[in-house]
Structure 1
């Protein structure tokens, strides 16, 4: 149970990290302060987030030991492209994903819904 709680915390923390990573693509706009997130959207967000975590782990490993700054930049761009594709594959666009991430960050009830959803899928 302790591992599962740690994993949930990691997933939520990483979801906020993606917001910054995708913002580098220049697509970040200020989301509405208060949005309604349906269960379907939250499921899509969770699916995208799971893929994003895997991508981040993969590229983190690949970046270790890379000494050439240009190669490191190429890997970071590739990681951002793959994360964007993961969001698209889950049925969301980057703007919606970011808006949901911001809503989760600002709404404890929504955080709880996401946590419960992720726990039920394990």
Structure 2
């Protein structure tokens, strides 16, 4: 089921930790992160996970409303995203797939806005949040500190 949800989430590019990463500044070697910043980041991160879970549930509902199996939807989607993959579809499946993708593309901005709003409501700027995301990807010590902050 996680694989299926991941595939659906991929469509909308709803990462639990990234918001418009393409606009993020270039990563720095290592940045200084205070405990209070990390605590604030952890709070935003948790809230974003909740929004992401809601988004996944809504996406699943969209797929199911078209009476398309989640796994089948993912197979079709992966084939559409990867020119090296092929999958045979019926005319009905192709139509259902297109309807689902159109609906998902329509709801995606709402969830993106909610995620951006969560950052805006925090003490972190969007730029600083992005810096922390990028630092976390490369710094195992910072990842451990985040784990502790998430548990505490």
TM-score in terms of structure 2 length: 0.60
- Provide the aligned length of Structure 1 versus Structure 2: 102
The equivalent residue for 1:23 is 20
- Counterparts in 2 of 1:88-99, with a 5 A limit? 88-99=120-131
Secondary structure in 2 matching 1:18: coil
Ranges in structure 2 where 5+ consecutive residues have no aligned partner: 1-14, 63-98
* RMSD of aligned alpha carbons: 1.8
Ranges in structure 1 where 5+ consecutive residues have no aligned partner: 1-15
TM-score in terms of structure 1 length: 0.73
- Runs of 4+, deviation exceeding 4 Å: none
Q: 1:32 aligns with which of 21, 28, 48?
A: 28
Contact 1:31 1:98 in 2 (8 A): no
Larger of the two Rg values belongs to structure: 2
- Structure 1: distance between partners of 2:136 and 2:101: 34
